[in-house]
Structure 1
């Protein structure tokens, strides 16, 4: 009887471990590797550039800022590719902002396999050479979307040379253990033991001192707004604002009221 129980328990553990490992790749890093030229996405004034880390080539989309305007350093979310953010980028460019959008490993034609370590490393290397991709006189505003908010917080929290003019976090989360346990409560005891990339943003948020805007939908079923509010509360920024998007889920936060709050924030803190 005990042997049979141990066998069943072992199979259940293996199944849970395999399931979570698979879910980590399928859901956390569900990037689209398709390479799309900016012009084919309707962005005629955006340039495709190749950015090389120690082991991989990464795609970067860039556009110059108009005089006196900031450059948006954009870290995208955990699904799709840069082309699927083309409309957002177009709105930014229409306002005269510059753009530097990094495609992580496995996204938009970038090489390699995504992980917490290499995403942070590529973001840090990009920042170290940011003057090669944007006008040095243009203030830098970092925008982190979903998993990109974790990249943003870890970049700022681990690199002393990262001093943006302002930071925008869209749907930030506390850590992946809490996200996973919220989505899959039946696996809550297993998740901390098998999840490799935890992205603990609660440790990094207190290191953020730049002006901060958090945008989060009230109906976000993937990352509850309570997580965004916790990150907001932990941030050490003296000037910060939380914009709650009524009725919005995880992927439709860019509603008119949110856009107005976004442009107002960028125009206020992205000045030379």
Structure 2
């Protein structure tokens, strides 16, 4: 074997060892970080909610929770964050139901005992199935409330369907932006991001009124992300800045009252 051939083989081995193998591992390990499925089952219904099973177009079975409408002529579809399940939204759902809305606490594949494995395309498919279920069940207008990763499902669903209003809490422009926030010196390997969730590219397609709520002390998705997304949203998008609020404590600042007020005004403006 010639010296030049040995050098080439060594270079190939080094590339495999320090580039291909590590980055392949990073690519396939992303699911555990983006979708950290809680280790618990379906959860229990409460406060007038009942468990329902929603079948997606690709055959997955989603374990969601549904509350029929009260005196409001509309229902709200709720999308949870990445380390939660639909059951964790029961308190928020009860507040919406008390306000008179029908409520569907949506679930994603692989979460809360649902079948399948989560992915970006998968949770969007789940969101569409949940929206369509709610329309068929109530035959009333549907609004959307989403938090954190849930906004990555809510925005494509809102763009593809016709909700009367959309509330986004602690949203992001894209998961690439969050990755760069987490890893300041992250190299420009955008192609390695398996689930980009490009909210900034999709929010302009939403035709419904939008409200964005974000806390200034959010250490998971920085406040600037919600602020930037608001500038990319359609004209007229409302933005509420909550001083001192973090990522998971918006309830302490009456976020549901803000959302309910927005839904009620939007519904009145679009009878």
* Partner residue in 1 for 2:40: 34
Give, in whole Å, the separation in 2 of the partners of 1:237 and 1:60: 33
What is the 5 A alignment of 1:12-51? 12-13=18-19, 14-22=21-29, 24-32=30-38, 34-39=40-45, 43-51=46-54
Instruction: Tell me the CA shift for residue 156 of structure 1.
Output: 2.7
TM-score by length of 2: 0.87
Give 3-state SS (helix, strand or coil) of 1:74's partner. Answer: strand
Which residue is equivalent to 2:106?
102
SS of the residue corresponding to residue 195 of structure 2 reads coil
Q: Under a length normalisation based on structure 1, what TM-score does the superposition of the two structures give?
A: 0.87
Q: By how many angstroms is 1:196 displaced? A: 1.6
What does the per-residue CA deviation read over 1:212-238, in whole Å, with 9 as the maximum and x for residues that have no partner? 110111111221111111211111153
CA RMSD of aligned residues (A): 2.1
**Deviation of the 1:130 alpha carbon:** 2.7
Determine helix, strand or coil for the equivalent of 1:187: coil
Work out the CA distance in 2 between the residues paired with 1:7 and 1:185. Answer: 29
Unpaired runs of 5+ in structure 2?
1-6
Is 1:80 matched up with 2:79? no
- Between Structure 1 and Structure 2, whose CA radius of gyration is higher? 2
- Partner residue, 2:187: 188
1:268 maps to 265
**Where does 1:117-266 land on structure 2 (aligned, <5 Å)?**
117-133=121-137, 135-137=138-140, 139-157=141-159, 159=160, 162-190=161-189, 192-238=190-236, 240-266=237-263
Which ranges in structure 1 are unaligned for 5 or more consecutive residues?
A: none
**Deviations, residues 91-146 of structure 1 (Å, cap 9, x unaligned):** 2222222111221011111100011111112222332343333x213x31111211
SS of the residue 2:251 aligns to: coil
Aligned residues: 261
Shift of the 37–176 alpha-carbon distance from structure 1 to 2, 3 Å rule, reads: closer
